[in-house]
Copies of this chain bind each other. A is one copy, B any other.
């Protein structure tokens, strides 16, 4: 122990989380985690944001970890890591942690570094296999950790290090490093009696080692030669950017490749937002058979697809319908590169892309001229009355899916953060041409696809956006999905956050209706009055008239943030939406605003109709 100085284990962990960008820590108090919550409230670098429930907390941590901002994610001021923030969620043993699992599993699937810290009974109670509350009643104290292991990249039981401070510190550092490097969730269980265990203060002296590991030199050289030769030989290569480009902090490298190659660039749904959509080389979104015909033709006729960070899930590819042969594809991944049918292990996208870029940049002007000839201008074009069809209603004033999304696209400003719920929102918003933005600003859970996710994620993205001075935050969610996680709107109000919540009201689970059972009762939901709902969450802090412990009340609210004002708008016609989107006060987004957009039951974005058809076929009953 250098100089003999000591710190508490809980505080060591918090300092490490702060090192990974966490400024806000979320979760729900429970009787096995409150000693750690004391440390969070008292720590100089982090603060606590309590959630209404644990699933919402996990979704929020997902959103928080998803947010990209200058200085991270390989943008502008590149950091050593090139990533965003780590999300942190704190729950209590059993009852709390299990409620969070769906949200954590989503982080595993979608590649997000989230740390799940669970307060557990003391090591002695666990050793006795005591029949405690929040247990299964059969003495199994390891069941919950084993469940979480299935959806975590690393797991630390701090109780194993009761008499080994160095071991505890090393285990935490190793897990955090693995989680951050691989962009996956990790699980840490913290028994009550170890929160204040002392560890050497010097443990923090050496920062976590997060730099990209060096490539295998020989493999890197061979791979580079092959990649460059393929690109130089190709007649009309294109670049296709996918999710892991964002998740593994390669945005700057991707933009350099685009800028210095002059090649056309496209995004997948999960990669949407990675590339500035106003970039003159940007050609649109490619989703296999679900792609706009002109874009589809360009991508599929190319003789070389340069694919960055591909994550080829069904909804990201219109059920695996790419018509791009593997022999014509180079795939760059976080730890390997695949050239046609050959794989180069130990070569990372982050290391090799700059070398590729500099090797091919000589062809820039020629390639750029060709790209300009090929690409149509990618715009937010409103549909004609005919294109909208019956969804615009008899007088054309109804808000159709076909019309809504490009209109929203026109409304957006650079750095606005868009969150689109799985369902009509995630499919519809693919049609938005995002404003020229230096940071990825589009968020959807396309692989995991858990309905209700977006409301929690909106909280986390709002918190991160405030911390990093990003733009406005906008949620698009249907009336069905909203119901799963609605109470988290009240946390946004309490935290003084001011996202714009667009609620698409169409009387139920429209995405499910498109897949199965359009006339079935099970796809209906209860109808809510969203105006009153919003008001109910915005009750001013009550000083209960029946008295009570005023000193505690005062102390406990001392550090409260001023809650947001709220405002509700019902929008039933194009004119009403136009007026609202043009309203200056609305545009300021200095209140929490909920815009309920009434839409036609049965209307759905084209992209969803296409996807639903293929999903139906594969879910044959």
**Which chain A residues have a beta carbon within 8 Å of chain B's beta carbons?**
28-32, 34-35, 37-38, 40-41, 48, 50, 52-55, 94-95, 98-99, 101-102, 105-106, 108-110, 121-122, 125, 130-137, 140, 143-144, 146-147, 150-151, 192-193, 195-196, 311-315, 320, 390, 393-394, 398-399, 446-452, 483-487, 490-491, 493-494, 505-509, 511-513, 515-533, 535-542, 544-549, 551-553, 555-560, 572, 598-603, 615, 618-621
CA distance A102 to B30 in the complex (A): 15
A483 CB to nearest B CB, Å? 4
16 A/B residue pairs, CB under 8 Å, sorted by A: A29-B512, A31-B515, A34-B517, A35-B619, A52-B526, A98-B101, A99-B101, A101-B147, A109-B137, A122-B618, A137-B311, A393-B547, A399-B546, A507-B542, A532-B532, A549-B600
Contact pick for A517, options B38, B399, B551, CB 8 Å: B38
Chain B residue contacts of A516, Cβ below 8 A: 31, 34-35, 38
| Chain B residue at minimum C-beta to C-beta distance from A56 | B484
Given known pairs A539-B527, A540-B527, the reply for A133 and B314 (CB within 8 Å) is yes
Of all chain B residues, which has the CB nearest A545? Answer: B572
Q: Let me know if B151 and A150 touch, CB within 8 A.
A: no
Complex contacts, A135 vs chain B, CB 8 Å: 109, 313, 447
CB within 8 Å for A599 and B536 given contacts A134-B448, A483-B490, A521-B560: no
Chain B residues contacting A195 (CB-CB under 8 Å) are 621
Tell me whether A105 and B98 are in contact (CB under 8 A): yes
- Asked if A548 and B515 make an inter-chain contact with CB atoms under 8 angstroms apart, the answer reads no
- Interfacial chain B residues near A50, Cβ < 8 Å: 521-522, 524-525
With most chain B CB atoms within 10 A of its CB, the pick from A519, A558, A603 is: A519
A619, B130: Cα distance in complex, Å: 13
Q: Judging by beta carbons under 8 Å apart, are B320 and A130 in contact? A: yes
Contacts of A491 on B, CB cut-off 8 Å? 526
> Out of B150, B493, B533, which one reaches A147, CB within 8 Å?
B150
User: How far, in Å, is A423 (CB) from chain B's closest CB?
Assistant: 11
Q: Is the CB of B134 within 8 A of A618?
A: no
* Given A131-B447, A528-B537, A548-B601, 11 additional A-B pairs, CB 8 A: A31-B615, A35-B619, A52-B526, A99-B101, A99-B450, A131-B320, A134-B449, A398-B546, A493-B526, A519-B552, A533-B533
Asked if B484 and A487 sit within 8 Å, CB to CB, the answer is yes
Q: Check B539–A536 contact: CB distance below 8 A.
A: no
Residues of B within 8 A of A517 (CB): 29, 34, 37-38
**Chain B nearest CB: distance from A174 CB in Å?**
21
Tallying the copies of this chain within the complex gives 2
Partner pick for A150 among B125, B146, B507, B618, CB 8 A cutoff: B146
Asked if residues A620 and B394 are in contact (CB atoms below 8 Å), the reply is: no
Q: In the complex, what residue of chain B is closest to A146 when comparing beta carbons?
A: B150
Are A619 and B122 closer than 8 Å at their CB atoms?
yes
Q: Is the CB of B102 within 8 A of A524?
A: no
Do A548 and B507 form a contact, CB below 8 Å, given A150-B143, A620-B122? yes
Considering the complex, give the chain B residue whose CB is closest to the CB of A602: B549
A192 touches which one: B108, B602, B620 (CB < 8 A)? Answer: B620
Which residues of B have CB within 8 Å of A98? 101-102, 105
Q: How many angstroms from the CA of A527 to the CA of B549 in the assembled complex?
A: 17
Find the residue from A52, A108, A506, A556 having the highest chain B CB count within 10 A.
A556
Q: How far is the CB of A523 from chain B (nearest CB, A)?
A: 6
A131 touches B41 (CB 8 A): no
Identify A549's interface contact among B105, B110, B144, B601, CB under 8 A: B601
Assembly CA distance A423 to B594 (angstroms): 33
Q: Give A212 Cβ to nearest chain B Cβ, in Å.
A: 22
Nearest-neighbor residue (CB-CB) of A549 within chain B: B602
Are the CB atoms of A448 and B398 closer together than 8 Å? no
Q: Decide: A48 and B522 in contact? CB cutoff 8 A.
A: yes
A485: which B residues are within 8 A, CB to CB? 53
Question: Which of B28, B447, B494, B518 is the one whose CB lies under 8 Å from A552?
Answer: B518
Chain B residues lying within 8 Å of A452, measured Cβ to Cβ, are: 53
Partner of A193, one of B487, B490, B519, B621: B621
A52 and B483 contacting across the interface, CB-CB below 8 Å = yes
User: Is there an interface contact between B599 and A546, defined as CB atoms closer than 8 Å?
Assistant: yes
Residues of B within 8 A of A508 (CB): 556
Out of B38, B487, B526, name the residue touching A486 (CB < 8 Å). B487
- B residues in contact with A522, CB < 8 Å: 29, 34, 37, 40-41, 48, 50
Q: How far is the CA of A620 from the CA of B124 in the complex (A)?
A: 11
Q: Is B533's CB under 8 angstroms from A601's CB?
A: no
Known: A95-B451, A133-B446, A134-B449. A557 touches B31 (CB 8 A): no
Which B residues touch A133, using CB under 8 A? 313-315, 446-449
> A452–B56 Cα gap in the complex (Å)?
13
